[in-house]
Amino acid sequence: MEIKILGSGCANCKNLEKAAREAVAELNLDASVVKEEDIVKIMAYGVMRTPALVLDEKVLFYGRVPSVSEIKEMLIKK
Amino acid sequence: MTKKLEIHLLKQWINYLPLILLPAWYLLYANLHRLTDGLVYTIFDLPMGTHFTESLWFFVFEVPKVLLLLTLIIFCVGIIRSYFSPERTRKALEGKSLFTGNVMAASLGIVTPFCSCSAIPLFLGFIESGIPLGVTFSFLIAAPMINEVAVVLLFGLFGWKTALIYVSTGLFIAITAGWVIGRLHLEKWVEGWVYELKAGAHLEDEKLSFSTRIKSGLEAVKDIVGKVWIYVIIGIAVGAGVHGYVPQDFMASFMGKSAWYSVPLSVLIGIPLYSNAAGIIPIVSALIEKGAALGTALAFMMAVIGLSLPEMIILRKVLKMPLIFTFIGVVGAGIMIVGFLFNSIF
């Protein structure tokens, strides 16, 4: 699967990227984590608050940085 | 009972812990004056009335007072804000006429969670769903200017009247400045690609339980108080120095009522000066005590908090330079009017 972090480089976006990478590593998932900084592409997901996490082109959550364990729970459910 | 269920119940209970701490908060807050007296005059055994004792007393009393107020209010605001979101605000503003839209946008700007790093997606999201430029500006002016940290500090250091004056004049400026920008029809000064943007389907809000809302209140405290406490301490330390050592009426000659130029000057100094409310308000409160006029001080605070250089730089991505200058000009003029008005009333 593919995880995208949407955000234009603020501190929270970096925190989310770090948390997502940790969650993926701890779950041993075969997933790529990429960062999307282009505002036009970010808007195409309908997001108005950054950072957001997109899993396989679907927005999972936005406007907050959940804990690693919460991200793990959400990834397992999917 | 299984172990897992026990842990689950414990976790639920911990979420409500902040509500149980409320009486302890009240006891501490209500007795702060006595505790400070005891610490400064009895334990430190300092003589009353010296410059140093005055400054120290001010510092020892104000720092915990402001931090206690901040913690409680930001916790409550965090819970209240979990009922609002930019998505919901956008929905409420869609199709509203110019003046009604400005009033609503400015009021919603106070309660909608907003971070200046999300200013661009928010601006684009508003414009894309057809909300007029002027209404969008009312939101963008009110959201940073009337923030909970500023209101708490004004309440704690000046009293509720000044806090109320700040909120209502801030609303007034956000409404009129947005309305003026709307009437000027400045869409030509928005970057062209903004109006061609195709945004994705609007997202639904997440459904939250009350214990999640309490959690978001706690997160707000951790996030905001964790960030501003150091500025509160520095601001109050400088304020304490001014309080104890600067002679009475020292500020009257250049920040007092008689110096008419002090209002525009303090706005001009305030715009490029980027400090958060937590650092600037304690210093301003000490300056007022030494003879600075309320209107001048109010104008200075609003210029510092409401018009910040970093936000302008962020907005430059979507706005052309003339619109940024119009924005600064209109809001700056509004702030000056408020300053002159208050200097002539009080």
Query: In angstroms, rounded to a whole number, what is the distance separating the alpha carbons of residues A39 and B18?
Result: 38
CA distance B254 to chain A (A): 40
Contact A48 B122 (CB under 8 A): yes
CA distance B197 to chain A (A): 7
Per-residue confidence (pLDDT) for residue B196, from 0 to 100: 84
CB B79 within 8 A of CB B219: no
A32-36 and A58-62 strand pairing: unpaired
A78 catalytic? Reply is no
Structure tokens at B39: 């610490």
Q: Which residues in chain A are contacts of B206 at CB distance < 8 A?
A: 61
Render pLDDT for B208-243 as a digit per residue (tens, 0 to 9): 788 888 888 888 898 889 888 999 999 999 999 988
- Give the closest residue to B116 by CA, choosing from B259, B244, B307: B307
- How crowded is the C-beta side of B201, counted as CA atoms within 13 Å? 6
* Confidence band of B93 (pLDDT split at 50, 70, 90): very high
Per-residue confidence (pLDDT) for residue A75, from 0 to 100: 87
Query: In angstroms, rounded to a whole number, what is the distance separating the alpha carbons of residues B1 and B244?
Result: 61
Render pLDDT for B25-76 as a digit per residue (tens, 0 to 9): 999 999 999 999 999 898 888 888 888 998 999 999 999 999 999 999 999 9
Report which residue type is found at B312: M
Burial of B225 (0-12, 13-18, 19+ CB in 10 A): middle
Structure tokens at B37: 């007296």
Rg over CA atoms, chain A: 11
Burial A28-45 (b: 16+ CB within 10 A, else e): eeebebebbeebeebbeb
Render pLDDT for B251-307 as a digit per residue (tens, 0 to 9): 777 777 777 888 999 888 888 877 778 888 888 888 888 888 989 998 998 998 888
Peptide bond into B121 cis (omega under 30): no
CB A8 within 8 A of CB A50: yes
A2-6 and A32-36 strand pairing: parallel
Per-residue confidence (pLDDT) for residue B2, from 0 to 100: 63
pLDDT above 80 (res B13): no
Render pLDDT for B183-200 as a digit per residue (tens, 0 to 9): 999 999 999 888 888 777
Render pLDDT for B107-136 as a digit per residue (tens, 0 to 9): 999 998 887 778 888 999 999 889 999 999
pLDDT above 70 (res B1): no
ipTM: 0.84
CB B137 within 8 A of CB B122: no
Q: What DSSP designation does A33 have?
A: E
Q: Pick the residue from chain B with its C-alpha nearest to A51.
A: B118
Provide the CATH number for the domain around residue A21. Answer: 3.40.30.10
* Confidence band of B179 (pLDDT split at 50, 70, 90): very high
Q: Pick the residue from chain B with its C-alpha nearest to A46.
A: B200
Render pLDDT for A10-37 as a digit per residue (tens, 0 to 9): 788 889 999 999 999 999 988 899 999 8
Contact B86 A43 (CB under 8 A): no
Count of domains in chain A? 1
Query: In angstroms, rounded to a whole number, what is the distance separating the alpha carbons of residues B145 and B106?
Result: 10
CB B281 within 8 A of CB B154: yes
* Confidence band of B12 (pLDDT split at 50, 70, 90): low
Domain boundaries, chain B: 7-82+210-229, 97-200+241-345
User: For all residues of chain B together, what is the average pLDDT?
Assistant: 87
Structure tokens at B278: 């937590």
